């Protein structure tokens, strides 16, 4: 009976993955307590609550399933590497397959929060180690020799005394019958051949010769193209439309309504569907649409920003309190206050939002660039009443994520359109759609208070955040402190006895979204620039002032000491130069920068950038360097380019000409230092390099020019 069930489960698995000739399939069981144990899929019986991560076929083909979509952050290498290292196979001998939200692959099928490696490091190594031990046991049994005389290398098991070997494919079936080891022995890191070493990413050659398939590159038979007109005044309602001219455009086959669904934010658009994308665009231009602006055409960011300043006078909800801030601040001999402001910004990945969807009978197939296949599986089966086994999601290479592709609003539109017209639809947003429609990273404003003792020690500190929220639930409680919008402000390691951090919610009707490093991207600016202001007020060197508040051992202290060392902090700079430092710790990890600038006319030039990121453990230092360099570029764009502003309810910006990104000629070199000294907490890679860049830059500008920047964006060519 048990065997029968095993066979059924294996068949189910094969059907699910489309892979034939399965031998050994190992997965992870997902326990409620968050601990994962390795299990043999073939022996799973009825339960089948497994995340299959590695499949070894009789042919020798090894497939590793990657539940973390590749968005440029390197999970196509770093996640399979965790298994391959322990399995003793090189990645170039492995097929890597993205999972598509299938229940069997578990609940964490997403890329976000710099979470992929830091949450998988040990559990996926256990998968690989278990497979290795089972293959060795199978070989030892076959040869009738002790297990201790056998070892695995390069996808083979060897018998040391005789030198004979068997390939993993030959062993797979027998290995599947071996009991899964309770505690597989993990390799000693000193024996690693992949982990911790700069390793080439298997997706890079595909991205160099044009063969990497992004969502926008997918074509299926009988496919038509859609371009969707949405109201440029966000928050409007569709009243009516006249599609008579649009339908006369050669190639146009249909005009249909569809709804963009983004949490509580919902809006209807009108899609022109045509045999070519160009025809769809021409048809869209010929549409006549009547919108009801719902009063949102009066909205502009200037007025909204003033309302945020007004809202800062509210007491706010207490996010964190220690000691007695109010009393200490009131009685302090030296105190200071400052107000910081940041803008709305766009994600602007170069691959515009797009989705191919095909609805046939009761089945739906989706091909898209997304960070969240698991979420699409959950949401879309519910929203559209599809059985999970009738929904197939193909996760393509993402042409940039940055948080934008955490939200499948663009997938909803394509799904509705294919359902309506009965043909596969490829919907592509224009760059103008992307720039005008958001969702956007909201601004945060910060009211800062600090107090010093007579001898210049920080004794009281307050960071009050005033902002809209990223929380899109209907039952959002605006009287409570919002953990996402106050991200990190109470997590810094500075030893300041009296602290009271506050949050004031202020409504904004726009579609909003997490952006790479979420709210830390704005809060680190106010937080770390204000710490600098306190240092100046205390007449202390900003690095020494920070280290003076870090008497206990901490990763932050190590990081700042590293930056101090590599930037030669104590070495005098040429006249007209200045240097600044900033660090920020938040849920994703810990990073820091020292930036050096020089005066150049009325502006400044960035001369040198030193970055440090603390990981505890590093999987691919080459990827980490690239991620931190890229984070600095993105942070510089957010600091000195326009951001998104609104007039008459619409974005002023529409494309890259007026929503500019940093270009190659504007970007200085970034020297990256990785701290990977072990420790219990493995930290993230993709985001922590972003938040501390802007404050380090602005602190450097203060040091060089005496000008304190408290509002982003600023014009780097007009400082003084």
Partner 1 sequence: MIKLTINNQPYEVDASPEMPLLWAIRDMVGLTGTKFGCGMAQCGACTVHVDGNPVRSCSFPVSAAAGKKITTIEGLSERIGEAVKKAWIELQVPQCGYCQSGQIMSATALLKNKPKPTDADIDAAMQGNLCRCGTYQRIRSAIHRASEMIQS
- Which chain residues interact with partner 1 by CB under 8 A? 70-74, 200-201, 203-214, 216-217, 219, 225, 250, 276-278, 348-352, 397-402, 428, 430-432, 622-623, 626-627, 629-634, 655-657, 661-665, 667, 669-670
Query: Would you say 244 or 276 has its CB closer to partner 1?
Result: 276
Query: Would you say 77 or 418 has its CB closer to partner 1?
Result: 77
To partner 1, the closest distance from the beta carbon of 720 in angstroms equals 25
To partner 1, the closest distance from the beta carbon of 369 in angstroms equals 9
Query: Would you say 213 or 554 has its CB closer to partner 1?
Result: 213
Contact between 502 and 465 (Cβ < 8 Å): yes
To partner 1, the closest distance from the beta carbon of 665 in angstroms equals 4
To partner 1, the closest distance from the beta carbon of 219 in angstroms equals 7
To partner 1, the closest distance from the beta carbon of 567 in angstroms equals 18
Query: Would you say 100 or 352 has its CB closer to partner 1?
Result: 352
CA-to-CA distance for 154 and 143, rounded, in angstroms? 19
Query: Would you say 11 or 250 has its CB closer to partner 1?
Result: 250
Quote the tokens at residue 118: 């830091």
CA-to-CA distance for 66 and 73, rounded, in angstroms? 13
Contact between 444 and 465 (Cβ < 8 Å): yes
To partner 1, the closest distance from the beta carbon of 20 in angstroms equals 29
| CB-based contacts of 684, cutoff 8 Å, min separation 6 | 113, 114, 115, 117, 118, 588, 589, 615
Query: Would you say 21 or 198 has its CB closer to partner 1?
Result: 198
Query: Would you say 219 or 264 has its CB closer to partner 1?
Result: 219
Quote the tokens at residue 529: 């620039």
* Helix %, strand %, coil % of the chain (to 5): 35, 25, 40
Contact between 560 and 581 (Cβ < 8 Å): yes
Q: Which of 215, 73, 124, 243 is nearest to 620 (CA)?
A: 73
Query: Would you say 276 or 484 has its CB closer to partner 1?
Result: 276
| CB-based contacts of 367, cutoff 8 Å, min separation 6 | 215, 218, 220, 355, 356, 357, 394, 396
Contact between 231 and 291 (Cβ < 8 Å): yes
Phi first, then psi: give them for residue 478, nearest 5 degrees: -80, 0
CA-to-CA distance for 95 and 79, rounded, in angstroms? 13
Query: Would you say 644 or 704 has its CB closer to partner 1?
Result: 644
Query: Would you say 16 or 220 has its CB closer to partner 1?
Result: 220
To partner 1, the closest distance from the beta carbon of 167 in angstroms equals 29
To partner 1, the closest distance from the beta carbon of 634 in angstroms equals 6
**3-state DSSP call for residue 262?**
strand
CA-to-CA distance for 605 and 585, rounded, in angstroms? 27
Q: Which of 668, 1, 654 is nearest to 346 (CA)?
A: 654
To partner 1, the closest distance from the beta carbon of 92 in angstroms equals 13
Tell me how many helices (H) and strands (E) the chain has. Answer: 17, 28
Query: E strand or H helix at 220, and its extent?
Result: none
To partner 1, the closest distance from the beta carbon of 685 in angstroms equals 12
Contact between 216 and 428 (Cβ < 8 Å): yes
CA dist list (Å): 99 to 107, 373, 676: 11, 8, 30
To partner 1, the closest distance from the beta carbon of 170 in angstroms equals 33
Query: Would you say 171 or 632 has its CB closer to partner 1?
Result: 632
Query: Would you say 203 or 292 has its CB closer to partner 1?
Result: 203
Query: Would you say 71 or 535 has its CB closer to partner 1?
Result: 71
CA-to-CA distance for 81 and 212, rounded, in angstroms? 20
| CB-based contacts of 170, cutoff 8 Å, min separation 6 | 58, 60
To partner 1, the closest distance from the beta carbon of 657 in angstroms equals 5
Strands 363-368 and 391-395: parallel
To partner 1, the closest distance from the beta carbon of 357 in angstroms equals 17
CA-to-CA distance for 496 and 458, rounded, in angstroms? 6
Residue 540, Cβ density class (10 Å: 0-12 exposed, 13-18 middle, ≥19 buried)? middle
Residue 294, Cβ density class (10 Å: 0-12 exposed, 13-18 middle, ≥19 buried)? middle
Could you give the angle at the alpha carbon of 169 between the alpha carbons of 167 and 172, nearest 5°?
Answer: 110
To partner 1, the closest distance from the beta carbon of 482 in angstroms equals 28
Quote the tokens at residue 598: 């020089």
Query: Would you say 345 or 465 has its CB closer to partner 1?
Result: 345
Query: Would you say 29 or 213 has its CB closer to partner 1?
Result: 213
To partner 1, the closest distance from the beta carbon of 347 in angstroms equals 8
| Number of residues written out for the chain | 720
CA-to-CA distance for 128 and 26, rounded, in angstroms? 8
Query: Would you say 57 or 433 has its CB closer to partner 1?
Result: 433
Query: Would you say 343 or 450 has its CB closer to partner 1?
Result: 343
To partner 1, the closest distance from the beta carbon of 128 in angstroms equals 23
To partner 1, the closest distance from the beta carbon of 212 in angstroms equals 6
**3-state DSSP call for residue 511?**
coil
C-beta neighbour count of 97 within 10 angstroms:
16
Query: Would you say 125 or 405 has its CB closer to partner 1?
Result: 405
CA-to-CA distance for 69 and 99, rounded, in angstroms? 8
Q: Which residues of 40-79 are buried (b: 16+ CB within 10 A; e: fewer)?
A: bbbbbeeebebbbbbbbbbebbbbbbbbbbbbbbbbbbbb
To partner 1, the closest distance from the beta carbon of 608 in angstroms equals 13
Q: Which of 178, 180, 197 is nearest to 189 (CA)?
A: 197
Contact between 445 and 316 (Cβ < 8 Å): no
């Amino acid at each position: 009976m048990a065997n029968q069930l095993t066979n059924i489960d294996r068949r189910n698995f094969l059907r699910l993955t489309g892979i034939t000739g399965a031998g050994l399939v190992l997965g992870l069981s997902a326990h409620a307590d968050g601990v994962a144990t390795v299990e043999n899929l073939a022996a799973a019986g009825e339960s089948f609550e497994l995340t299959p991560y590695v499949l070894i076929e009789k042919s020798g083909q090894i497939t590793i399933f990657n539940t973390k979509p590749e968005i440029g952050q390197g999970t196509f290498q770093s996640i399979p590497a965790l298994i391959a290292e322990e399995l003793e196979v090189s990645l170039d001998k492995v097929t890597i397959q993205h999972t598509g939200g299938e229940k069997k692959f578990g609940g964490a099928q997403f890329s976000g929060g710099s979470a992929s490696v830091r949450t998988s490091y040990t559990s996926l190594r256990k998968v690989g180690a278990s497979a290795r031990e089972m293959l060795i046991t199978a070989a030892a049994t076959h040869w009738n020799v002790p297990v201790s005389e056998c070892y695995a290398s390069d996808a083979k098991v060897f018998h040391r005394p005789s030198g004979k070997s068997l390939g993993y494919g030959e062993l797979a079936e027998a290995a599947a019958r071996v009991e899964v080891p309770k505690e597989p022995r993990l390799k000693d890191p000193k024996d690693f051949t992949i982990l911790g070493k700069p390793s080439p990413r298997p997706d890079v050659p595909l991205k160099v010769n044009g063969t990497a398939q992004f969502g926008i590159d997918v074509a299926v038979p009988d496919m038509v193209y859609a371009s969707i007109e949405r109201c440029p005044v966000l928050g409007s309602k569709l009243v009516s439309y006249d599609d008579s001219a649009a339908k006369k455009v050669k190639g146009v086959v249909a005009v249909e309504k569809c709804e963009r669904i983004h949490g509580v934010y919902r809006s209807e658009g009108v899609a022109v569907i045509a045999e070519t994308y160009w025809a769809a665009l021409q048809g869209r231009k010929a549409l006549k649409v009547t919108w009801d602006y719902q009063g949102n055409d009066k909205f502009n960011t200037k007025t909204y920003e003033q309302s945020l300043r007004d809202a800062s006078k509210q007491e706010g909800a207490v996010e964190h309190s220690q000691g007695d801030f109010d009393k200490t601040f009131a009685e302090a001999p030296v105190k200071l206050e400052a107000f910081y402001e940041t803008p709305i910004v766009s994600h602007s990945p170069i691959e515009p939002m797009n989705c191919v969807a095909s609805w046939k009978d009761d089945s739906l197939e989706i091909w898209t660039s997304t960070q969240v296949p698991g979420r699409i599986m959950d949401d879309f089966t519910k929203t559209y009443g599809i059985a999970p086994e009738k929904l197939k999601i193909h996760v393509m290479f993402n042409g940039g994520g940055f948080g934008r592709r955490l939200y499948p609003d663009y997938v909803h539109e394509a799904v509705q359109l294919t359902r309506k017209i009965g043909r596969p639809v490829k919907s592509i947003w224009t760059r103008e759609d992307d720039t005008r429609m958001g969702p956007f990273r909201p601004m945060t404003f910060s009211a800062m208070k600090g107090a010093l003792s007579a001898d210049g020690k920080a004794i009281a500190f307050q960071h009050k955040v005033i902002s809209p929220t990223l929380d899109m639930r209907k039952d959002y409680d605006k009287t409570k402190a919002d953990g996402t919008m106050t991200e990190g402000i109470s997590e810094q390691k500075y030893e300041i006895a009296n602290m009271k951090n506050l949050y004031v919610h202020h409504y904004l009707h726009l579609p909003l979204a997490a952006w790479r490093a979420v709210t830390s991207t704005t809060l680190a600016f106010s937080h770390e620039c204000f710490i600098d202001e306190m240092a100046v007020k205390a007449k202390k060197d900003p690095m020494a002032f920070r280290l003076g508040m870090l008497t206990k051992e901490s990763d932050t202290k190590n990081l700042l000491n590293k930056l101090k060392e590599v930037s030669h902090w104590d070495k005098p700079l040429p006249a007209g130069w200045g240097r600044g430092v900033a660090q920020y710790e938040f849920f994703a990890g810990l990073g820091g920068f020292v930036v050096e600038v020089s005066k150049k006319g009325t502006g400044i030039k960035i001369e040198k950038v030193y970055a440090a990121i603390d990981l505890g453990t590093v999987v691919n230092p080459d990827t980490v360097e690239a991620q931190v360099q890229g984070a600095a570029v993105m942070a510089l764009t957010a600091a000195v380019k326009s951001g998104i502003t609104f007039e008459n309810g619409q974005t002023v910006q529409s494309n890259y000409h007026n929503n500019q990104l940093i270009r190659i000629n504007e970007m200085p070199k970034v020297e990256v230092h990785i701290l990977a000294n072990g420790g219990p907490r493995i930290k993230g890679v993709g985001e922590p390099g972003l938040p501390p860049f802007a404050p380090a830059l602005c602190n450097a500008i203060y040091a060089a020019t005496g000008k304190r920047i408290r509002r982003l964006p600023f014009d780097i060519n007009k400082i003084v």
